[in-house]
Amino acid sequence: MTNTYGRETTTDQLLEGRDLSGKRILITGGSAGLGVETARALAAHGASVVLTVRDRAKGERAAAPIRACAAKGATVELVDLDLESLASARACADALVREGKPLDVLIANAGVMACPQGKTKDGFETQFGTNHLGHFVLVNRIAPLLVRGAPSRIVVLSSAGHRFADVNLDDPNFERSPYEPWQAYGRAKTANVLFAVSLDRRLRDRRVRACAVHPGGIRTELGRHLTADTMKQLTSRMSRPGAPQFKTVPQGAATSVWCAVVASADEIGGRYCEDCGVAKPTDDPEAMGGVRAYATNPAHAEALWAKSESLVGERFSP
């Protein structure tokens, strides 16, 4: 069937006429930006959503309008999670596993972008530690709930920013190289794609499929760390001839929703998606779309997996 969706498609257009009753969907970063819109759209069509929040009061404020527009029978639940802390990721996952309710979809939406150099509570570079390692632990520990809910899906939010840099497995924390915010962001977003590639390979035989998503450029709280200098760099990139312009939040959340409940599992499994479709591979540095080969290389993905296990001190089997 021909995909009629594109970069301007909104969440409501995607879900028009769809009934998601009975689906249980976990979304990290559920108290702002794309997380809120993703949850709103899914709950409005009957899905029960579990939102991870770092700030409970902020999460309750965000959840109120989602509950107000949720379809009959849909629920909105908050759980505490700080992805800058592996202890928090473990506690969140373990509590959900003890509860035992199956998951149909997990959307790894939370993240930070181009922040000043810093470290997570476990000593990892902030962007790599939060965007990748926090999710690495959380998703792997929650995997039994997705297997129980199979056929199920994992949607990992990446970015076109993966084209800024490949992961550096020899120096993931910038201990031997000068820190640059956009390079660190690129490394973390490449890690997100590689993580999805490895997850899909490990779990597809158990009917759990994984993919990565570029939502597009959207003005949300993700940009809260941008300085005048980093914003100037971003604006320069966005103003190049042929560069896509900013999306609205409903347009930005649409690709996550498309991957979660609209596209076929075989179409998206192990892929990088953008504009409600599967992106084409490209190594053209001037290309405005597509995915770099290093971000989907299976051997590279396995090397990152092994490095991640070493860094977090845990091994995860399928």
Query: Which residues have a catalytic role annotated?
Result: 185
Whole-Å CA distances, 18 to 25, 36, 47, 83, 126 = 15, 19, 10, 32, 38
Q: How many CB atoms lie within 10 A of CB 241?
A: 6
The two tokens of residue 287 are 């290309």
Say if CB 105 and CB 20 are below 8 A apart.
no
Identify any residues that bridge with 214 across adjacent strands, giving them in sequence order: 274
The two tokens of residue 88 are 């928090």
Strand 277-278 versus strand 272-274 pairing type: antiparallel
**113: nearest Cα among 169, 34, 55:** 34
Distance CA 68, CA 43 (A): 10
Question: Which residues, at least 6 apart from 105, have a Cβ–Cβ distance to it below 8 Å?
Answer: 23, 24, 25, 26, 152, 153, 154, 155, 260, 261
Q: Show the beta-strand stretches assigned E in 146-230.
A: 152-157, 208-214
Whole-Å CA distances, 93 to 74, 127, 144 = 22, 21, 10
